Amino acid sequence: MGRTGAAPRPPTTGAWWTLLGQAMLEAVFPQACFACGDFLGLPPREDPREARLAPGELFPPPPDRAFYRAALRRFVCGACAENFIGLQPPFCPCCGAMFTSREGGNHLCGECLAKRPPLEVVRSVGRYAGSLRRVIQAYKYRARLELTAPLGALLRAAYRHHWFQEEADLVMPVPLHPRRLRRRGFNQSALVAQAWAAATAKDGGGPAFAPDGAVVVRSRATRPQAGLDSPARRRNLRGAFRVVAPGAVEGRHILLVDDVYTTGATAHACARALKAAGARRVDLLAIARVDVL
């Protein structure tokens, strides 16, 4: 059932009130699924799965399909929530790539074995596929900023699970390319990190957050990465990041936030700059990861 099913009729005076009511309802409950466009209906008021993730919980589970469905219930229909693939073992404990085979435990992937990347730990909420991919695209390219809070909730849940034993000192977004920032008008990673920070501030505990540009900035414009091979990408990004607050970095465990982790070239360059400024360890948490294995 598509949302364009009903042909628009010229409204009568009385119908204006109905339309106004519908518009208000739609503002609160967007009615089309971001992934398939189908009618969503009124979402359930609360989800017991979400209520269980209360502050003070000892070992929070990773955001699974039920959590995903609950967090995005106003934007993604139940059927599309089913295609969410959360990060689950076995994966590479370093770069967080999920192995195709579901057998066995976590182990280093070939790439990390050959050369340890500057990011010590990379994790994601889930795979960049299905409805999660559509949601991130709507967020980035259509500026559907109402997705900020649910995406922040997903990040927060993933953080609480994966960094349970080793909390980060400071969380910050990967700075966006200045040209892209001008075009888009917002840094999506900074916004979701802000939403996460706001939820953390309300509940207490958790790491400190640094806003976009407070600690590290893009010091120069780089050429687009597309079409460049790996060494060329690295050369292209050399010196692209500059730490403006070394005092906030020295000896600290830093967690970078990004929307999508692909090759990691940009994040690696950012991590190298932070480490050169004295960071003890740099990790990264992405909403979604493009799996290469």
Radius of gyration of the chain (CA): 21
CA dihedral over 21, 25, 30, 32, signed as positive or negative? negative
Nearer to Zn ion (CB atom), residue 80 or residue 170: 80
Task: Please report, as a single letter, which amino acid is at residue 102.
Answer: R
Q: How far is CA 176 from CA 212, 254, 291, in A?
A: 9, 17, 22
Calculate helix-pair angle for 130-141, 148-162, nearest 10 degrees. Answer: 130
Q: Least distance in Å: CB of 65 to Zn ion?
A: 14
Q: By C-beta, is 72 or 77 nearer to Zn ion?
A: 77
Rank residues 33 and 286 by Cβ distance to Zn ion and give the closer one. Answer: 33
Q: Is 77 in the site for Zn ion (CB under 5 A)?
A: yes
Nearer to Zn ion, 106 or 219 (CB): 106
Give the nearer residue to Zn ion in terms of CB position, either 3 or 234: 3
Rounded to the nearest whole angstrom, what is the least distance from the CB of residue 121 to Zn ion in the complex? Answer: 10
Closest contact distance (angstroms) between CB of 269 and Zn ion is 18
Asked if 193 and 173 touch (Cβ cutoff 8 Å), the reply is yes
- Closest separation in Å from C-beta 267 to Zn ion: 14
Task: Report, in Å, the least distance between residue 33 CB and Zn ion.
Answer: 3
- The span from the CA of 259 to the CA of 135, in Å, is 11
Rounded to the nearest whole angstrom, what is the least distance from the CB of residue 49 to Zn ion in the complex?
Answer: 19
Structure tokens at 60: 């929070």
If the CB atoms of residues 94 and 279 are measured against Zn ion, the closer one turns out to be 94
Q: Based on CB atoms, which residue is closest to Zn ion, 82 or 167?
A: 82
By rule CB under 5 A, what string of x and - marks binding of each residue 57-76 to Zn ion? --------------------
Q: Is the peptide bond before 61 cis (omega within 30 degrees of 0)?
A: no
Reduce the DSSP state of residue 67 to 3 states and report it: helix
How near is the Cβ of 92 to Zn ion at its closest, in Å?
Answer: 3
Q: For residues 128 and 134, what is the distance between their CA atoms, to the nearest angstrom?
A: 9
To Zn ion, the closest distance from the beta carbon of 155 in angstroms equals 21
Per-residue DSSP letter, 214: S
Cα 194 to Cα 23: distance, rounded to the nearest angstrom: 28
Site for Zn ion in 5-44 (CB under 5 A): 33, 35-36
200-204 long-range contacts (CB < 8 A, ≥24 apart) are 200/156, 203/55, 204/55
Decide whether 32 or 217 has the Cβ nearer to Zn ion.
Answer: 32
Cα–Cα distance between 50 and 40 in angstroms, integer?
20
- The count of chain residues that interact with Zn ion, using the rule CB under 5 A, is 10
Looking only at residues 79 through 138 of this chain, which bind Zn ion when binding is defined by CB under 5 A? Answer: 80, 92, 94-95, 109, 112
Matching residue, tokens 């559509």: 134
Residues forming the site for Zn ion (CB under 5 A): 33, 35-36, 77, 80, 92, 94-95, 109, 112
